[in-house]
Structures are given as structure tokens and as C-alpha cells.
Structure 1
Amino acid sequence: MLPPLSARALLRPTSTAAASAIRRASSAPAGPLTRVTTLPNRVRVTTEASPGHFHAVGVYVHAGSRFESHRTSGASHLLDRLAFKSTDKHTDEEMVTLIDQLGSQITCSSSREAIMYQSTVFPQSLDLAMSLLSSTILHPLLLPEELEAQKAAAAYEIREIWAKPELILPEILHTVAFKDNTLGMPLLCPESQLEVLGEAEIRGFMRDWYRPERIVVAGVGMPHEQMVELAEKHFGGVPASSDAHVQSSLRPGASAQPVGTKGFATVVNPPLNSDAHLASAKAVYTGGEEYILKPEEEFVHLYIGFEGLGVHDPDIYALATLQTLLGGGGSFSAGGPGKGMYTRLYTNVLNRYHAVDYCAGFHHCYADSGLFGIAMSVYPQFAGSAANIIAHQLDTLTRPQKGGIAQIELSRAKNMLKSQLVMALESRLTAVEDLGRQTQIHGHKVPVEEMCAKIDALTIDVSIKLRRRLGVGGDSRWTRRKVDGCWA
């Protein structure tokens, strides 16, 4: 919970006492280029040395749709849309003007396990960027007119996404695979929730999850000491949570607690919405099927998935390599080196069946679980063969005697995965997100050299090992095991 705290306290210049607190904060190296410091209130600050003409900074809150209850479902989506509106320090117009002065990108996005506020800035604007980030994260006013405007915009966004099968089917897949729990909670605000979600529910969600120990401040390009000082200035004034404090706001009959600064509502969580339960709740894979009839669609879209692996699993690199080996894409591609035109799904499906418009492997990875499978779009007259083709591809992939992985295939997939990983980190926004999220999940950044070494260490029997773990491949397993199927 965030007790009442004035903006002046959060945004004050670093005093001698604050500087002393920074020196007392625990600091540990996380590799040759990265450092992590924990402030006294348990906000973690991490930086990566990467000199350049501009910096990237992000604030990562360990929140998101998996931590929503049925009462607060959709809060993350609305908080995403309400970012950088009116705060107790700036009006909406002032916020827009200051963002324009930055001359850079500043964004917010919500996911299942994090709400991410990020910006790329020139070095001289870093302090202003941190001020804007802290203001919108810790002290949004959530004015009624702004809330209603964003609800209307969200309703339009939801309708647009539901009209595009390639966008909505991965979301439906999650709700089917983890029905009514954690990773299965909708990432998009349900339209029914737009009518009932108000300031009280959103502030209650913020009170439960926007806590200093769940916040990581990350930066790429600036000196570590500078970032720690700015983090202390803008986030160090948030009082540290205590277990007693957390429980007192959640126990049955707890009294209402004021949240944040002026304009913050007072909210009481119902007993069933236990913060402790949602924070520690494990993802429960249920499996299931979902069929959506849309005769007007040009194509039939099919997703078949299995429960994957969590990010901490030692086999996660093997599964990522397997997904890269499957590859795939659309029936039309401009081609060119590195496009994956010789991956399995291109070679064995897209180049062989003219009725297939799209076919690709997918891999969604989270803290304690994931999803792995194949998506396909076909002309309606070919729909009856789609599931069999997917089953055949997964079966042959994991059975050496039926055309399993060849050494040259594995080598290509490993090289492609490593190149994708390294090239993605050339983007500063991608690099700061990777740094912040890894620190949030692992407590430090896993060096890219270590990741590449683990990919290089994979051997030809990787698919056999994963077949046993995931239940992918084999006729008997296919018919007995719950799989996630989505048709549209």
C-alpha cells in the first residue's frame, strides 16, 4: 500500500540525508556491463553501460492482468490508457507540453505480468523524464472526464481487435488454456467491465500492486550513480511496505485506507480479493477448446497449443530453439537471407499446401508457465485437414524415425535464435525493457553471452526430451492430452 505522500516529498532534490541513504543501499554487480542497486525502500535500480547520444529509461511495475480479480479485471488495460494524463503535479495539457519538450518517445504498455512505462531521452532531459514517469505512476488524478474518454477509446480498441483474428486468437488461447485463473485473465478489458470499473477499483488495484518492492527502475546509457540518484529523488520517498501493512489492508473487516495524494480514493478490498493469494497464485493449466463461428471470414484460423515452460525452467532455451526451428509465416514473403524461408513450416506446409495462407509456431513464456504450439490460417474448404497437418508436424518433429531434427536444421535454428536475440538488443527501448524485466524476474540480467552459450550447448536429442515433458507428438498422447484449440 502507498500511504499519503506529497509530490514535494517525491520530487524534492536529493538531500544529504538522501545521499547517505543511497550509499547505504545494497548494490551488487550483475555482470561486466550491468549493475543493480536496491534503495532503502526496496525499489530496485539497474543500469547497463552503453554509451550513446541518447538514453533509454523504464519503470517496470510487477502488476498486470494475471494479478487481477474478477472485480478488477481490465484495470491494467485502463491504467495503460490513462498513463501521462493529469497528475497532482501537471494538468493533461502541461503533460503533453512537457513530453513534446523531451523530443523523444514516452510510452506505457500493459502485459500479463508487468505494466511498463518507458522513454528514450537525450541526456540533458533524463531528470524531466524521470519526473514525468514518477508523476504518472505514483500520483495520477484519474479525473472522471479522462477516465470516461479512455473507456470510450478502449471500447473502440477492443472492437477493432476482435475484428482481427490474428490479434484476438492468441488472447482467446490464453483464456482457454488457463481458464479463470492468472494467465487466463483477459489482457483486454472486457466490455462488461468498462461499465463497472471506476476510480475506486483502479486505485484499489494500484494500492495492491504499485508497491516499491514491485518496482524496478532501469536505464541504458547513463552512469549508474546518476540513475540511482534520480531514482532516489523521484521514487525513494515512497515508504517501504511491511507484511503487517499488506495484511492489514486485506483482512476481512479492514478499515478503509487512504491511497496516494489528493484525489486518491479510499478503497476496501473484499475478503475474497486477497493480495497474498493473487501474488503467490500459480498458473493452473486447464486446457480446453473454443470454437467461434464467423461465416463471413475469408479464412478459417486454428491455434493448437500445449502448456509450455516457465522462464526459470532450464529447458526454456531448448523450447525457444524448437519454436525457431518450426518457424513459418505467411504464404507471401519478400524472402531474403535470415527470413526463415527454409524452416520446417515453410518447407513442409506453406510450400506444399496452396490452401494454407499462414502457418507458424508460437511460444509464450511467463514466470511459471507458458504456451507452445502452431497457428494456421486456411481456406474454408481445407479446414478439415488443418488439425491433422499440425499434428503431423509436431509428431515428425519429435520422432527421429519419422524425420526428426537433422543436425543442420538444429544448427540453423540455433544461429537464427542467437541472431534474433542479439539484433533485438540493438534497439535501446528493447534493451532497457529486457534489462528491467529480467531484473524483475531474476533479480539481475542474464548476460547475452550466457544465453548464447546455453543455446550452443543444445544437442540433437532436444526434441525427444521436450516431447516427454510437454506431451507433444505421438498419436496416443495427442488424443488423450488436453490441448487448446481455437477456431474462428
Structure 2
Amino acid sequence: MASRLLQAASRRGQGMSLYPLVPGIFKRGESSLSHSVNNPVLPTTVQEYSKSSTGLCKVTTLPNGIRVASENTPGHFSAVGVYVDAGSRYETSDTRGVSHILDRLAFKSTANKSADEIVGEVESLGGNIMCSSSRESIMYQSAIFSQDLERAISLFSDVICRPNIDPLEVEEQRQTALYEIEEIWSKPEMILPEILHTVAYENNTLGNPLLCPPENLERMTPELIRSYMKTWYRPERMVITACGAEHEKVVELAVKHFGQGPTAYEIATEPARYTGGSHMMDVPDLPLTHVYIAFEGLSIDDKDIYALATLQILLGGGGSFSAGGPGKGMYSRLFTNVLNQHYWVESCQAFNHCYTDSGLFGIAGSCRPEYTNALVEVMCRELDSIGRSDGNNQRVTDAELSRAKNQLKSSLLMNLESRMVQLEDLGRQVQVHGKKTGIDEMLERIDRVDLEELRRVASRVVRGAVGVTSGGSGKATIVLQGDMRGLKDVSKMVEKYGLGS
């Protein structure tokens, strides 16, 4: 499977996501329809996305290596985006935080327009236009009126290929980023998933922070930003996608605005290396203690990823004041076994982060400080039970599995009703795989998940066996924030249930 779509569907909106080429890398081309998909110079693949959909997924590779993907599904609006294979995992100790600053600089002055003119252009389009950075991608996206397709692609070309990276604009964004960092650090539900990554992948790739470390802000000079962009904003690392537009027109505009540049070249990238570990943050005046227990999960290419996404839905969970009701997860295991049984649990929910070569799977919970040891015990018990096939009365049942699979499938289909979700799903799948996995295939693979497979995959993850093939440590990743008085050894509680390697 291939996309963030399955991950987004499986977490049902839970978790956190903090999701301009160097002047001279590209020159505006003069080509037009002579560069069509019928031209053998531009190889194009066509695939049926779904038997129930009228749109076909088409992918064309331009001579400079940029891939252009589209789905011409009907609707009043179009969506267009540019996806760059960059992000925090590619940063070094010298460039750590540059992706965060880059997405803040996205719609500033360019070689052709002032910052005010860029803002005026964005507002005149009247759509939803944004840039966001993640660990494995920097995404420029827009939802627009269909007749404004060329204006949007031209705007993206300008801000991506010809940014000024003006010193005054950089300084302004450094100050704004500092305020943003302080704001996020004050909210445990936003910063703890970040800390979880830094502990799970200590000093490498996926452990690099999404937020620029405050001590690195002064390093974020125009020269450093241009150097980073020159390294990673390469045409072969870019995908231009459109939904609700004719493919030939999108290719024509891509050639016109992005079509020239160097040919592809090889970049060696460091694979993610899961380390695991523990990090305890003693904050005595915090009203709640927050607990995260995670294990190395699966990459988006892993054959077991559909079973793991189903498992996350099956565990489910939420907050103590979550709006329950049919179809809202009220029968998930963490609601039934934890939130409904223990009044002192404020929140308890499963999470699943998947990336190109690794992932994180686990449970996050919170409670008043005096119940922290009990919460850790409850979380370990639930993680232990999902991989059991013995006579334990907590093992997963057929009814739970069927309910989770139906919820995952419906969430996938409902997510795809959004133009922006459809756009990002297409862009990221083509970026990572060079093609799109059709929704019919996704649904079929979810249907094939049975109890034996679910238990095997659950055991593979929570017992630390993913490391056998990934090279990871297999250890649990444990992060706690709050009042640590009276806290027992959490690592020993995890080991007691046979979790981790």
C-alpha cells in the first residue's frame, strides 16, 4: 500500500502532522502541446483506479525527470500540487530545522514578484493554497476553480523555482518560528509524538525534529537554505499532480513552467535506523501524566501494512469525553477495555505512523499522576492481548476484526471524497512508488486480513520482531511527561508482558 491515505484512515484524524527551488535550477520553457502524451519522449502509464470511478490515473515523466500525475474525476473544483522528496529526514546536524523554515518561506518574494504581489495572487485565486513540510516530503497544494489551473501551476513554479530567500524575510520567519515552537512545546498532545520519534530513531533520519530547534534558528541563513534546496529540490525528486483536470493539459503546463532542468542523478540517502529507548520528563505541576509506548512499525511497502492499519482501528480509543455512538469507535478495544472500565483514564488511543522504510506503532494515554503506574500496566496488557492466539479471554475475536475492517474501508472511501486528500494521496503514492495503488485493490487487501494474520502481525510488531528484517533494535520506545513521583520502572513493566525484544 502505498500511501498516507491508509495511515490517515487508520488513525481517523488522531495524532499530529506538521506537514522554493534555487534560482537558476529551472528555466521557464517555451514548449507547448507538441510535448503531448503521444510523444514517445514523454512516457506515460495509464491505470484504472477503481471500477466504480470514471477517472483514470495517468503518470507522465518529463525529460528532466519530473513526474506528472493526474486523475480527471468530475467536480466543480480542481486540485493541483507539487510534492518534493525532501523534508526533515534528509537534514544533517548543520541543516536541522531548514524544512520548517522552508515551508514558512513558501509564498514570499520571488525573482518575478514581490511578497505583496504573491499574496495578492494567492488571494485572487480564492482557493485553498498551502505549503507544509513532513518527515519525507515538502508539499505545495491548492484547491482552485478549474479555469485557474494554469495560474496555480505558474504560481507554484515561481515560488518553487525562483524564490528570493530574502534576508529580511528569513529573519521574520525565524522570529515567527520561535513563537510557533514555544506554542507547540506548551501542548503535550502536539509535542510528545515529536519526542517519541526522536527517541525511537535516536540521532538519525526519522528522529530528526520537524520543528527547527531554537538553538539552530540563527543558522538558518539564506545561503544555508539555498544550499539545501540545491541539493534536494531536484526535478527527479518532484511530482506534479492534479485532480479534476485533463492529463494532456496538465502535462502541457508542467512542460511550460517546470519542463527544463538537469537530468536525473543518484542521491544516496541514509536508511532509517530504529533504536528505541526511554525518555522521562518530570513536570511536577502538570495536571496529567502522558504516557507513550511504541514499537517499530511497518514501512508503507510492507506486505503486512493492511493488517497493521486494521489493528490500529481495532484498538481505536479516544478521550474520556469522546462523543460515542455507532460508527465512532465506541466498540473498539481501548474504549471497551480501558476508557469504559477505568474512570481515571483521561485518554487512551492507538497510533500508527508509517514511512518509506520504517514506522511507529503503539498506544498513547493520559491520567492523573497517582494512576500512572496503573495506566502503564493497562496499556501493556492491551498490547500483549492483541497478539495472543491462546485461550486468553482477551484475544481478538472475529466480530472485532470484521467491525475494524468495515470501519477502515469506510474511512478510506470517505477520505477520498475530499479533493485535497485525493490530491495528496496521488502525489505521495507516485512520489514513493511511481504509480498509484487503486482503491479496489486496497479494499480487497483489507478484506483478505483474517484473525491468524492479524495476530501474527500484532505479535511481529509488539514483540519487537520487525527488527529482524529492518535491523532495528526491537526495543520499546517509552516517553512519559508529568509528575514522576512514585513511578515504577516502566521498562520492567513492559518486559514483564514480553513486549519488545
Matches within 5 A, 1:249-268: none
Letter in 2 for 1:141: N
- The residue number in structure 1 matching 2:320 is 331
- Partner Cα distance (2:217, 2:24) in 1: 29
Deviation at 1:99, TM superposition (A): 0.8
Matches within 5 A, 1:108-127: 108-127=131-150
- The residue number in structure 2 matching 1:219 is 242
- Partner Cα distance (1:17, 1:34) in 2: 22
Change (3 A) 1:216 1:352: same
Structure 1, gaps ≥5 residues long: 244-275, 475-479
Deviation at 1:338, TM superposition (A): 1.4
1:398 paired with 2:387, answer yes
Contact 1:307 1:370 in 2 (8 A): yes
Find 1:133's aligned residue among 151, 156, 161.
156
- Partner Cα distance (1:381, 1:432) in 2: 46
Matches within 5 A, 1:70-89: 70-89=93-112
Find 1:460's aligned residue among 451, 464, 473.
451
- Secondary structure in structure 1 of the residue aligned to 2:140: strand
1:449 paired with 2:468, answer no
- The residue number in structure 2 matching 1:303 is 292
- Partner Cα distance (1:222, 1:429) in 2: 14
- Secondary structure in structure 2 of the residue aligned to 1:195: helix
- Secondary structure in structure 1 of the residue aligned to 2:190: helix
Change (3 A) 1:75 1:21: farther
- The residue number in structure 2 matching 1:151 is 174
- The residue number in structure 1 matching 2:414 is 423
- Partner Cα distance (1:330, 1:352) in 2: 13
Q: Number of matched residues?
A: 447
- Partner Cα distance (1:309, 1:354) in 2: 33
Contact 2:32 2:252 in 1 (8 A): no
Change (3 A) 1:241 1:413: same
- Partner Cα distance (2:370, 2:343) in 1: 12
- Secondary structure in structure 2 of the residue aligned to 1:292: strand
- The residue number in structure 2 matching 1:383 is 372
- The residue number in structure 2 matching 1:5 is 24
- The residue number in structure 2 matching 1:246 is none
- Partner Cα distance (1:59, 1:115) in 2: 8
- Partner Cα distance (2:377, 2:117) in 1: 57
- Secondary structure in structure 2 of the residue aligned to 1:24: coil
Bigger mean CA deviation after superposition, 16-25 or 386-395 = 16-25
Letter in 2 for 1:229: E
Find 2:31's aligned residue among 14, 17, 25.
14
The superposition leaves residues 57-111 of structure 1 with CA deviations (integer Å, 9 ceiling, x where unpaired) of: 0100000000001111111100010001001111000001111110111000000
Change (3 A) 1:5 1:16: farther
- Partner Cα distance (2:180, 2:115) in 1: 22
Find 2:119's aligned residue among 96, 105, 109.
96
Deviation at 1:23, TM superposition (A): 5.3
- Partner Cα distance (1:23, 1:105) in 2: 35
- Partner Cα distance (2:241, 2:332) in 1: 36
Deviation at 1:385, TM superposition (A): 1.1
Deviation at 1:295, TM superposition (A): 1.4
- Partner Cα distance (2:463, 2:338) in 1: 18
Return the TM-score normalized by structure 2: 0.86
Deviation at 1:464, TM superposition (A): 2.6
Find 1:66's aligned residue among 89, 92, 108.
89
- Partner Cα distance (2:32, 2:382) in 1: 63
- Partner Cα distance (1:62, 1:83) in 2: 16
User: Identity rate of aligned residues, in percent?
Assistant: 50
Q: Which structure has more RCO (C-alpha within 8 Å, separation ≥ 6)?
A: 2
1:411 paired with 2:430, answer no
- Secondary structure in structure 1 of the residue aligned to 2:219: coil
Query: RMSD between aligned alpha carbons?
Result: 2.0
1:432 paired with 2:446, answer no
Find 1:350's aligned residue among 329, 332, 339.
339
1:208 paired with 2:231, answer yes
- Partner Cα distance (1:282, 1:134) in 2: 30
Deviation at 1:3, TM superposition (A): 8.2
1:28 paired with 2:19, answer no
Contact 1:37 1:46 in 2 (8 A): yes
- Secondary structure in structure 2 of the residue aligned to 1:398: coil
The superposition leaves residues 253-285 of structure 1 with CA deviations (integer Å, 9 ceiling, x where unpaired) of: xxxxxxxxxxxxxxxxxxxxxxx44x2x11101
Deviation at 1:470, TM superposition (A): 1.9
The superposition leaves residues 347-405 of structure 1 with CA deviations (integer Å, 9 ceiling, x where unpaired) of: 00011111110000000000010000000011111011121111100111111322211
Change (3 A) 1:380 1:468: closer
Contact 2:405 2:446 in 1 (8 A): yes
- Partner Cα distance (2:134, 2:346) in 1: 29
Contact 1:394 1:472 in 2 (8 A): no
Letter in 2 for 1:414: K
Find 2:477's aligned residue among 456, 466, 484.
484
Change (3 A) 1:75 1:410: same
Letter in 1 for 2:140: Y
Deviation at 1:139, TM superposition (A): 1.1
Letter in 1 for 2:477: D
Deviation at 1:49, TM superposition (A): 1.9
Contact 1:22 1:39 in 2 (8 A): no
Change (3 A) 1:22 1:60: farther
Deviation at 1:336, TM superposition (A): 2.8
Structure 2, gaps ≥5 residues long: 1-20, 50-55, 466-472, 482-501
Deviation at 1:446, TM superposition (A): 0.2
Contact 1:84 1:132 in 2 (8 A): no
Contact 1:22 1:40 in 2 (8 A): no
The superposition leaves residues 429-465 of structure 1 with CA deviations (integer Å, 9 ceiling, x where unpaired) of: 0100000000011111100110010000011112331
Deviation at 1:467, TM superposition (A): 3.9
Deviation at 1:6, TM superposition (A): 8.4
- Partner Cα distance (2:426, 2:478) in 1: 34
